[in-house]
Amino acid sequence: MYVETVKKTMKLPKTVRILDTTLRDGEQTPGVAITVDEKIRIAKKLDKLGVDTMEVGFPASSPGEMRAAREILKLGLNSQICGLARVLRSDLDAAIDTGVDYIHTFIGTSPLHREYKLKMSQEEILNKSVESIEYIKDHGITAEFSAEDATRTEFSYLKEIYNAVEEAGVDYINVPDTVGVMVPASMRWIISEIKKTIKVPISVHCHDDFGMAVANSLSAVEAGASQVHVTINGLGERAGNASLEEVVMALTSQYNIKTNINTKLLVDTSEFVSRITGIKMPPNKAIVGENAFAHEAGIHVHGVLQKAETYEPITPEMVGHTRRIVLGKHTGANAIKAKLEEYGIELNKDQFCKVFDQIKKLGDKGKCVTDADLKAMSETVLGRA
């Protein structure tokens, strides 16, 4: 409702492209290593999900990464297949050798990266970036350029390097918030300023060090970004990247912006990636967590049973989830009645009160009451146990 009001003050894009980097930045999650075969299985899922581009790895980093890119390309998927490369001829050649359609090339641009990591001047970095874009374009491949640590780079230099790669023929410029230092207001500012000088589509890549990767990605879209880098389940270096499921559902349901994602496959994809990577989602994870559509408090359950929107912003069906009514300390009579009805159990008033009291007592002892517990309690009061 309030989003509708503020949306009128923004010039939002009609569609946003989704670049999924689960298989590259997502694989950089500490403790996660994905085999070539697993990458192939995830790539098929991502393609079915509808990601526009999938970054499948960093071909120059290992023979396995090269093989994964080649094998994924052989599948003939609908998504564009992207490989990561530093602005180095050897990295670019490795990516080109795999046959990818899209190369995401990057170099650190902030003073920290220039001084401590690269030991290169602004001019050297700019020249290497331009040469790399020209090289990618000479091979007829889509080129995206990232100024790594863009959000800690002097703004005048950032603009200069983005302008130079644009002149060299880049297809997308990407603004990585490499260590997640932005807040929504600063993200809105930087993207709107870049937009004043850059004509090619602007992409963003937000990390979640302060828990703001999704909010910052949305702010970037508000300011004119038309592509967002995301990962399934928000996997990624340190605290991770912006989560695909959260960004996509906010874009579609809150901003009315279209993506090519089949949102009904979100939970299935999230569970699949979680099984393969071994990274479990917390139950309260937005959109795909086990509790995302679970209700316990009597007041909430009563509301949801009358009209789901009272306590659900979107339906579970939209994302391939299911609604759950959970019994516990906060349960009200309506929830228990609904569960009994679901299981075809009929209790008289007295029997119902006994079950109700038992549930409350268990709840007060800090216990959750499962559906199996409810059935057992009912059997007991019915004298069948």
Report the interface residues with ligand KIV, using CB under 6 A: 25, 106, 146, 148, 176, 178, 205, 207
Structure tokens at 280: 């479990």
With CA atoms as reference, report the closest residue to 218 among 246, 176, 237. 246
Q: Closest CB to Zn ion among 105 and 331?
A: 105
Minimum distance between the CB of residue 107 and ligand KIV, rounded to whole angstroms? 9
Q: Which does 146 bind (CB under 5 to 8 A by kind): Zn ion, ligand KIV, none?
A: ligand KIV
Q: Closest CB to ligand KIV among 98 and 231?
A: 231
Q: How far is CA 226 from CA 15, 37, 83, 259, 295, in A?
A: 7, 32, 20, 10, 36
The C-alpha atoms of residue 378 and residue 187 are separated, in whole angstroms, by: 56
Q: Closest CB to ligand KIV among 20 and 25?
A: 25
CA 228 to chain centre: 9
Structure tokens at 40: 């192939």
Minimum distance between the CB of residue 220 and ligand KIV, rounded to whole angstroms? 14
Give burial (CB, 10 Å; 0-12/13-18/19+) of 221.
buried
Q: Closest CB to ligand KIV among 86 and 329?
A: 86
Q: Which does 217 bind (CB under 5 to 8 A by kind): ligand KIV, Zn ion, none?
A: none
Minimum distance between the CB of residue 177 and ligand KIV, rounded to whole angstroms? 8
Q: Can residue 27 be called a binding residue for Zn ion (CB under 5 A)?
A: no
**Which distant-in-sequence residues (6+ apart) come within 8 Å of 353 by Cβ?**
none
Q: Which amino acid is at 129?
A: S
Minimum distance between the CB of residue 174 and ligand KIV, rounded to whole angstroms? 6
Minimum distance between the CB of residue 161 and Zn ion, rounded to whole angstroms? 18
Q: Closest CB to ligand KIV among 178 and 217?
A: 178
Minimum distance between the CB of residue 25 and Zn ion, rounded to whole angstroms? 4
With CA atoms as reference, report the closest residue to 223 among 250, 248, 203, 245. 203
Among 18, 22, 25, 79, binds Zn ion (CB under 5 A): 25
Q: Which stretch binds Zn ion (CB under 5 A): 19-27, 269-277, 301-309, 330-338?
A: 19-27
Q: Can residue 166 be called a binding residue for Zn ion (CB under 5 A)?
A: no
Q: Which stretch binds Zn ion (CB under 5 A): 21-29, 87-95, 195-203, 208-216?
A: 21-29
**Which distant-in-sequence residues (6+ apart) come within 8 Å of 151 by Cβ?**
175, 176, 177, 178, 179, 181, 182, 186, 187, 190
Q: Closest CB to ligand KIV among 188 and 207?
A: 207
Query: Residue 378 in contact with residue 340, Cβ under 8 Å?
Result: yes
Q: Can residue 148 be called a binding residue for Zn ion (CB under 5 A)?
A: no
Minimum distance between the CB of residue 308 and ligand KIV, rounded to whole angstroms? 38
Q: Which amino acid is at 125?
A: I
Q: Can residue 91 be called a binding residue for Zn ion (CB under 5 A)?
A: no
Q: Can residue 208 be called a binding residue for Zn ion (CB under 5 A)?
A: no
Q: Which stretch binds Zn ion (CB under 5 A): 22-30, 99-107, 193-201, 250-258?
A: 22-30
Q: Can residue 149 be called a binding residue for Zn ion (CB under 5 A)?
A: no
The C-alpha atoms of residue 102 and residue 95 are separated, in whole angstroms, by: 9
Minimum distance between the CB of residue 51 and ligand KIV, rounded to whole angstroms? 17
Minimum distance between the CB of residue 24 and Zn ion, rounded to whole angstroms? 8
Q: Closest CB to ligand KIV among 153 and 269?
A: 153
Q: Closest CB to Zn ion among 234 and 320?
A: 234
Q: Closest CB to Zn ion among 45 and 104?
A: 104
Q: What stretches of the chain show up as alpha helix (H) in DSSP?
A: 2-7, 36-49, 63-74, 89-98, 111-112, 122-138, 155-167, 184-197, 213-222, 244-249, 266-277, 298-306, 333-342, 349-364, 371-381
- How many residues touch Zn ion under the rule CB under 5 A: the total is 1
Strand partners for 105: 85, 145
Q: Can residue 47 be called a binding residue for Zn ion (CB under 5 A)?
A: no
Q: Crossing angle of helices 36-49/63-74, nearest 10°?
A: 40
Residue with tokens 């602007």: 202
**DSSP secondary structure of 76-126:** --SSEEEEEEESSHHHHHHHHHHT-SEEEEEEE-SHHIIIIII---HHHHH
Q: Which residues bind Zn ion (CB under 5 A)?
A: 25
